[in-house]
């Protein structure tokens, strides 16, 4: 077998695997987001509606390495805020009933 052909074959396999895993991680992220169920707040308010989520669930920094979920007082909530390093972590902590602070 030509050595060049072997190298080309290896490169093609590597490229194929890279594309496969990139697609897999992308799809996993999308599924994660859609599965994200946010429980009622401790005060009983449901922030998992389309309108409230925009206001209540968002990254705190530009790098998206810190997230918060809050029960906004201007939406008749109690002001509870929960932080997380990822959206999923913030969601888990929220669903476990944690409260990092109350912003009133």
Nearest residue (CB) to Zn ion, 17 versus 40 = 40
> What is the nearest approach in angstroms of Zn ion to the Cβ of residue 43?
3
- Contact status: 52 vs Zn ion (CB under 5 A): no
How many CB atoms are located within 10 Å of the residue 73 CB?
Answer: 13
Binding Zn ion by CB under 5 A: which of 38, 57, 70, 77? 77
Binding Zn ion by CB under 5 A: which of 78, 88, 99, 103? 78
Cβ-Cβ contacts under 8 Å for 90 (sequence gap 6 or more): 57, 67, 68, 69, 82, 83, 84
Binding Zn ion by CB under 5 A: which of 38, 57, 71, 90? 71
> What is the nearest approach in angstroms of Zn ion to the Cβ of residue 18?
44
With vertex at residue 60, the alpha carbon angle to CA 58 and CA 66, rounded to the nearest 5 degrees, is 95
Residues pairing with 102 in the sheet: 80
The helix/strand/coil state of 39 is coil
- By CB under 5 A, name the binding residues for Zn ion: 41, 43, 45, 71, 77-78, 80
């Amino acid at each position: 077998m030509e050595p060049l052909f072997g190298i080309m074959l290896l490169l093609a396999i590597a490229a194929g695997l890279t594309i496969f895993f990139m697609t897999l991680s992308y799809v996993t992220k999308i599924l994660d987001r859609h599965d994200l169920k946010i429980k009622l707040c401790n005060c009983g308010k449901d922030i998992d509606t389309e309108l409230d989520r925009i206001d209540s669930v968002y990254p705190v920094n530009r790098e998206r390495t810190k997230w918060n979920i809050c029960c906004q007082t201007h939406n008749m909530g109690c002001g509870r805020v929960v932080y997380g390093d990822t959206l999923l972590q913030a969601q888990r902590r929220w669903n476990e009933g944690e409260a990092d602070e109350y912003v009133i």
